[in-house]
Amino acid sequence: MSKILSQVEFENKIKSVLVTEKEIKDAVQKAGKIISDSYDGRPILLVSILKGAFVFLADLCRAITVPCEVAFMCAKSYFNGTESTGNVNIVMDIDKDVSKYHVIIVEDIIDTGRTLKVIHKIIKDRNPLSLKVITLLDKKERRVVEFDADMVLFDIPDKFVIGYGLDCGELYRNLPYIAEYAE
Ligand code: IMP
Ligand code: MG
């Protein structure tokens, strides 16, 4: 159970805005158009990695103007302090046969790259018609294993960020922008 924060405590941890609501909106619209143009006529399955990517998926799917389906996968990554270890447990799996779809993995952030590397392999082994990755944020400086997304909306510096689905201790997912967290 999360600690109940006062409004002041809650707001004091929001250090500075890194990506504004408007910047996110414009980038998501652009990404939706690119996907709509390049996948038109093909069966699309957007696979969102819970929980962090739920806000991004909700906006991205509404920026796509061609038929598409959505699915969810909930992965628990294990951390040794601040870094994921690459031990990933699938807590909830996709409820579709991905071999019938052009799959696009929708992720909130790539940090060390370990989580997505594992998930990408799991989905790839199920033989989707094609497989691409779109991420809202990319912290390239932090990469430990080689992994590149096909589409990155924002490259960000090595800072712990919150908002637009991203949490710190399960809080701040509801901020409409991306902010740096005051440690
Ligand atoms: P990776 O395996 O290190 O790439 O870990 C990626 C996961 O760590 C993301 O899907 C997030 O859930 C979490 N994560 C990494 N950086 C941040 C951050 O700055 N804020 C919130 N969550 C983060
Ligand atoms: Mg995540």
Atom of ligand 1 nearest to the CA of 86: 2
Q: What are phi and psi of 110, to 5 degrees?
A: -110, 125
pLDDT, tens digit, 9 for 90 and up, residues 35-94 = 999 998 999 999 999 999 999 999 999 999 999 999 999 988 888 777 788 888 899 999
Minimum-distance ligand 1 atom for the alpha carbon of 162: 20
Beta sheet of 178-181, edge-to-edge order: 14-19, 178-181, 161-162
Is the beta carbon of 114 within 6 A of some atom in ligand 1? Answer: yes
Task: For the chain, give the mean pLDDT.
Answer: 94
Separation between Cα atoms, residue 28 and residue 19, nearest integer Å? 12
Assess whether 111 carries a catalytic annotation: yes
**Distance from Cα 7 to the centre of ligand 2, integer Å:** 26
> In angstroms, rounded to a whole number, what is the distance separating the alpha carbons of residues 74 and 65?
26
Which residues have a beta carbon within 5 Å of ligand 2, which is an ion? Answer: 52, 108
pTM, two decimal places: 0.95
Q: Find how far residue 74's CA is from the centre of its chain.
A: 12
The residue annotated as part of the active site, out of 59, 108, 111, 138, is 111
Give residue 1's pLDDT band: very low, low, confident or very high (50, 70, 90). Answer: low
**Residue of the CA atom closest to atom 11 of ligand 1:** 109
Whether the pLDDT of residue 99 is over 90: the answer is yes
Residues 6+ apart with CB under 8 A from 165: 51, 52, 53, 54, 55, 56, 108, 136, 173
Is the pLDDT confidence value at 2 over 80? no
Segment 125-135 shows an average pLDDT of 98
**Where is average pLDDT lowest: 30-39, 88-97, 127-136?**
88-97
